[in-house]
Chains A and B, each alone.
Chain A
Amino acid sequence: MPERKVIVESEVGLHARPAALFVQTAAKAFIEVTVAKGAGEPVNAKSILSVLALDVRQGEAIVIRAEGEGADALLDELAAIAAAS
Protein backbone atom coordinates (compact mmCIF):
# COMPACT_ATOMS: atom_id res chain seq x y z
CA MET A 1 0.00 0.00 0.00
CA PRO A 2 1.37 3.47 -0.85
CA GLU A 3 2.58 5.29 2.23
CA ARG A 4 4.53 8.35 3.31
CA LYS A 5 6.64 8.70 6.43
CA VAL A 6 6.80 12.29 7.60
CA ILE A 7 8.27 14.17 10.55
CA VAL A 8 5.70 16.65 11.87
CA GLU A 9 7.42 20.04 11.96
CA SER A 10 4.67 22.31 13.23
CA GLU A 11 5.37 23.86 16.62
CA VAL A 12 1.95 22.70 17.83
CA GLY A 13 2.34 19.19 16.42
CA LEU A 14 -0.58 17.67 14.52
CA HIS A 15 -3.11 19.60 16.58
CA ALA A 16 -5.91 22.08 16.09
CA ARG A 17 -4.96 23.97 12.95
CA PRO A 18 -2.56 21.60 11.19
CA ALA A 19 -4.85 18.73 12.19
CA ALA A 20 -7.90 20.47 10.72
CA LEU A 21 -6.14 21.09 7.40
CA PHE A 22 -4.89 17.51 7.35
CA VAL A 23 -8.29 15.98 8.10
CA GLN A 24 -10.19 18.25 5.72
CA THR A 25 -7.82 17.30 2.90
CA ALA A 26 -8.14 13.58 3.70
CA ALA A 27 -11.93 13.85 3.95
CA LYS A 28 -12.18 15.18 0.39
CA ALA A 29 -10.81 11.91 -0.99
CA PHE A 30 -13.07 9.02 -1.93
CA ILE A 31 -10.50 6.45 -0.83
CA GLU A 32 -9.64 5.32 2.69
CA VAL A 33 -6.74 7.12 4.35
CA THR A 34 -5.09 6.20 7.63
CA VAL A 35 -2.45 7.84 9.77
CA ALA A 36 -0.35 6.22 12.46
CA LYS A 37 2.15 7.62 14.92
CA GLY A 38 5.43 5.82 14.34
CA ALA A 39 4.77 2.08 14.38
CA GLY A 40 1.48 2.57 16.23
CA GLU A 41 -2.04 1.56 15.28
CA PRO A 42 -3.39 3.36 12.17
CA VAL A 43 -6.47 5.54 12.66
CA ASN A 44 -8.93 7.10 10.23
CA ALA A 45 -7.24 10.21 8.81
CA LYS A 46 -10.67 11.68 8.00
CA SER A 47 -11.63 11.90 11.70
CA ILE A 48 -10.49 15.01 13.56
CA LEU A 49 -11.23 13.21 16.83
CA SER A 50 -8.96 10.30 15.86
CA VAL A 51 -6.18 12.58 14.67
CA LEU A 52 -6.30 14.76 17.81
CA ALA A 53 -6.30 11.62 19.95
CA LEU A 54 -3.07 10.46 18.24
CA ASP A 55 -1.44 13.44 19.94
CA VAL A 56 1.43 13.86 17.49
CA ARG A 57 3.98 16.36 18.78
CA GLN A 58 6.57 18.40 16.91
CA GLY A 59 9.43 16.18 15.76
CA GLU A 60 7.44 12.95 15.87
CA ALA A 61 7.07 10.69 12.83
CA ILE A 62 3.77 9.67 11.28
CA VAL A 63 2.97 7.17 8.55
CA ILE A 64 0.12 8.07 6.18
CA ARG A 65 -1.34 5.28 4.05
CA ALA A 66 -3.91 5.21 1.26
CA GLU A 67 -4.71 2.89 -1.60
CA GLY A 68 -6.68 3.43 -4.78
CA GLU A 69 -7.17 6.08 -7.40
CA GLY A 70 -5.27 9.24 -6.64
CA ALA A 71 -3.56 7.76 -3.59
CA ASP A 72 -0.10 9.05 -4.43
CA ALA A 73 -1.21 12.62 -5.10
CA LEU A 74 -3.30 12.62 -1.92
CA LEU A 75 -0.42 11.24 0.16
CA ASP A 76 1.92 13.90 -1.25
CA GLU A 77 -0.57 16.60 -0.30
CA LEU A 78 -1.08 15.22 3.21
CA ALA A 79 2.66 14.75 3.71
CA ALA A 80 3.25 18.39 2.74
CA ILE A 81 0.67 19.58 5.29
CA ALA A 82 2.14 17.39 8.04
CA ALA A 83 5.70 18.46 7.27
CA ALA A 84 4.92 22.19 7.12
CA SER A 85 6.37 24.19 9.98
Chain B
Amino acid sequence: MFKDSPVRTGARASTIMTAVLAPVEGAVVALSVAPDPVFAAGMVGPGSAIDPARRPGRAVSPITGRIIKLHPHAYVVVGDDGRGVLVHLGINTVQLRGEGFELLASEGDRVAAGQPVVAWDPAVIEATGRSPVCLVVALDALADSVTDLVRGPVLAGDELFRWG
Protein backbone atom coordinates (compact mmCIF):
# COMPACT_ATOMS: atom_id res chain seq x y z
CA MET B 1 0.00 0.00 0.00
CA PHE B 2 2.71 2.43 1.01
CA LYS B 3 5.62 0.92 -0.84
CA ASP B 4 6.61 -0.48 -4.15
CA SER B 5 6.43 -4.22 -3.86
CA PRO B 6 9.01 -5.84 -6.06
CA VAL B 7 7.66 -8.70 -8.14
CA ARG B 8 8.80 -11.93 -6.59
CA THR B 9 9.64 -14.90 -8.73
CA GLY B 10 9.69 -18.49 -7.57
CA ALA B 11 13.50 -18.43 -7.51
CA ARG B 12 13.59 -18.67 -3.74
CA ALA B 13 10.85 -21.23 -3.36
CA SER B 14 13.28 -24.05 -2.70
CA THR B 15 15.14 -22.25 0.10
CA ILE B 16 13.95 -21.75 3.65
CA MET B 17 12.70 -18.21 3.88
CA THR B 18 10.82 -16.81 6.84
CA ALA B 19 8.65 -13.76 6.24
CA VAL B 20 8.79 -11.67 9.42
CA LEU B 21 5.79 -9.40 9.93
CA ALA B 22 5.62 -5.96 11.51
CA PRO B 23 4.24 -6.43 15.06
CA VAL B 24 2.89 -2.88 15.22
CA GLU B 25 1.70 -0.02 13.06
CA GLY B 26 4.17 2.78 12.46
CA ALA B 27 7.17 3.96 10.48
CA VAL B 28 9.96 1.47 9.90
CA VAL B 29 13.48 2.74 10.50
CA ALA B 30 16.86 1.02 10.53
CA LEU B 31 17.70 -0.93 13.67
CA SER B 32 20.99 1.02 13.69
CA VAL B 33 19.15 4.23 14.64
CA ALA B 34 17.28 2.61 17.55
CA PRO B 35 17.88 4.62 20.75
CA ASP B 36 19.65 1.68 22.40
CA PRO B 37 23.33 1.10 21.62
CA VAL B 38 23.28 -2.67 22.01
CA PHE B 39 20.25 -3.21 19.77
CA ALA B 40 21.49 -0.55 17.34
CA ALA B 41 24.83 -2.34 16.99
CA GLY B 42 23.01 -5.52 16.02
CA MET B 43 24.38 -7.31 19.09
CA VAL B 44 21.05 -8.97 19.84
CA GLY B 45 20.72 -9.83 16.16
CA PRO B 46 19.82 -8.29 12.81
CA GLY B 47 16.35 -6.87 12.30
CA SER B 48 14.37 -3.68 12.12
CA ALA B 49 12.81 -0.97 14.27
CA ILE B 50 9.38 0.60 14.07
CA ASP B 51 8.52 4.04 15.41
CA PRO B 52 4.96 3.15 16.42
CA ALA B 53 1.80 5.12 15.75
CA ARG B 54 0.91 6.97 18.98
CA ARG B 55 -2.43 5.35 19.58
CA PRO B 56 -3.62 2.20 21.36
CA GLY B 57 -2.84 -0.90 19.36
CA ARG B 58 -2.24 -4.59 19.51
CA ALA B 59 1.24 -5.98 18.91
CA VAL B 60 1.01 -9.15 16.84
CA SER B 61 3.21 -12.20 16.40
CA PRO B 62 5.84 -11.64 13.68
CA ILE B 63 5.87 -15.33 12.68
CA THR B 64 3.84 -18.49 13.17
CA GLY B 65 5.13 -20.52 16.09
CA ARG B 66 5.13 -20.87 19.84
CA ILE B 67 5.53 -18.04 22.34
CA ILE B 68 8.49 -19.34 24.33
CA LYS B 69 8.88 -16.17 26.41
CA LEU B 70 6.22 -13.61 27.14
CA HIS B 71 6.81 -10.48 29.16
CA PRO B 72 4.48 -7.48 29.00
CA HIS B 73 7.16 -5.46 27.18
CA ALA B 74 8.81 -8.21 25.11
CA TYR B 75 8.19 -11.63 23.65
CA VAL B 76 9.96 -14.34 21.69
CA VAL B 77 8.18 -16.53 19.14
CA VAL B 78 9.93 -19.63 17.82
CA GLY B 79 8.81 -21.20 14.55
CA ASP B 80 8.68 -24.92 13.81
CA ASP B 81 12.09 -24.58 12.13
CA GLY B 82 13.58 -23.43 15.45
CA ARG B 83 14.06 -19.83 14.41
CA GLY B 84 13.23 -17.28 17.08
CA VAL B 85 12.15 -13.67 16.66
CA LEU B 86 12.28 -11.18 19.52
CA VAL B 87 9.76 -8.33 19.70
CA HIS B 88 10.73 -5.62 22.20
CA LEU B 89 8.10 -2.94 22.83
CA GLY B 90 9.87 0.28 23.74
CA ILE B 91 13.28 0.95 25.29
CA ASN B 92 13.89 0.30 29.01
CA THR B 93 10.24 -0.71 29.29
CA VAL B 94 11.08 -3.62 31.61
CA GLN B 95 11.19 -0.90 34.29
CA LEU B 96 7.45 -0.30 33.81
CA ARG B 97 6.77 -3.78 35.24
CA GLY B 98 3.84 -4.33 32.91
CA GLU B 99 2.26 -0.91 33.37
CA GLY B 100 0.72 0.13 30.05
CA PHE B 101 0.69 -3.39 28.60
CA GLU B 102 -2.01 -6.06 28.56
CA LEU B 103 -1.26 -9.66 27.64
CA LEU B 104 -3.57 -11.13 24.99
CA ALA B 105 -1.87 -14.55 24.87
CA SER B 106 0.00 -16.82 27.26
CA GLU B 107 3.54 -18.12 27.33
CA GLY B 108 3.59 -21.48 25.58
CA ASP B 109 0.70 -20.61 23.25
CA ARG B 110 0.90 -21.45 19.58
CA VAL B 111 0.21 -18.34 17.53
CA ALA B 112 -0.24 -17.59 13.87
CA ALA B 113 1.75 -14.83 12.24
CA GLY B 114 -0.30 -11.67 12.73
CA GLN B 115 -2.13 -12.90 15.84
CA PRO B 116 -2.35 -10.31 18.66
CA VAL B 117 -0.04 -10.96 21.63
CA VAL B 118 0.09 -7.74 23.68
CA ALA B 119 -2.16 -4.66 23.79
CA TRP B 120 -0.33 -1.40 24.45
CA ASP B 121 -0.43 2.32 23.90
CA PRO B 122 2.86 3.80 22.65
CA ALA B 123 1.68 7.28 23.75
CA VAL B 124 1.45 6.03 27.35
CA ILE B 125 4.99 4.59 27.14
CA GLU B 126 6.28 7.86 25.71
CA ALA B 127 4.58 9.81 28.50
CA THR B 128 6.82 7.95 30.99
CA GLY B 129 9.86 9.48 29.27
CA ARG B 130 10.80 6.27 27.44
CA SER B 131 11.08 5.62 23.73
CA PRO B 132 8.18 3.46 22.49
CA VAL B 133 10.18 2.22 19.48
CA CYS B 134 9.44 -1.43 18.70
CA LEU B 135 12.48 -3.61 17.96
CA VAL B 136 12.13 -6.78 15.89
CA VAL B 137 15.19 -9.02 15.93
CA ALA B 138 16.08 -12.31 14.26
CA LEU B 139 17.82 -14.28 17.03
CA ASP B 140 21.03 -16.20 16.29
CA ALA B 141 20.80 -14.97 12.68
CA LEU B 142 23.74 -13.95 10.54
CA ALA B 143 23.54 -10.26 9.64
CA ASP B 144 23.34 -10.95 5.90
CA SER B 145 20.55 -13.54 6.29
CA VAL B 146 18.03 -10.74 6.85
CA THR B 147 16.94 -9.19 3.55
CA ASP B 148 14.14 -7.29 1.83
CA LEU B 149 13.88 -4.87 4.74
CA VAL B 150 10.88 -2.62 4.32
CA ARG B 151 11.20 1.09 5.16
CA GLY B 152 8.48 3.65 5.82
CA PRO B 153 4.89 3.20 6.97
CA VAL B 154 3.57 -0.26 7.85
CA LEU B 155 0.46 -1.67 9.43
CA ALA B 156 0.64 -4.45 12.03
CA GLY B 157 0.88 -7.69 10.06
CA ASP B 158 2.60 -6.21 6.99
CA GLU B 159 5.79 -7.92 5.92
CA LEU B 160 8.80 -6.29 7.60
CA PHE B 161 11.77 -8.33 6.37
CA ARG B 162 12.77 -11.76 5.15
CA TRP B 163 15.01 -14.17 6.98
CA GLY B 164 16.73 -16.56 4.59
Contact = CB atoms under 8 A, between A and B. Distances in A.
Interface string B67-101: 01100001010100000101010000011000000
Contacts of B43: 20-21, 24
B84 A16 contact: no
B53 to A, nearest CB: 23
Interface in B17-69: 36, 38-39, 43-45, 68-69
A3 to B, nearest CB: 24
- Of the listed residues B76, B88, B139, the one surrounded by the most CB atoms of chain A closer than 10 A to its CB is B139
Contacts of B140: 47-49
Contacts of A53: 68-69, 76, 84
Nearest to A55: B69
The 8 A-B residue pairs with the shortest CB-CB distance in the complex, in nearest-first order = A20-B43, A49-B84, A49-B139, A17-B38, A20-B44, A12-B94, A48-B139, A20-B38
15 contacts: A11-B94, A11-B95, A16-B38, A16-B44, A16-B74, A20-B43, A20-B44, A47-B139, A47-B140, A49-B84, A49-B139, A52-B76, A52-B84, A53-B69, A55-B69
Interface of A: 11-12, 15-17, 19-21, 24, 47-49, 52-53, 55
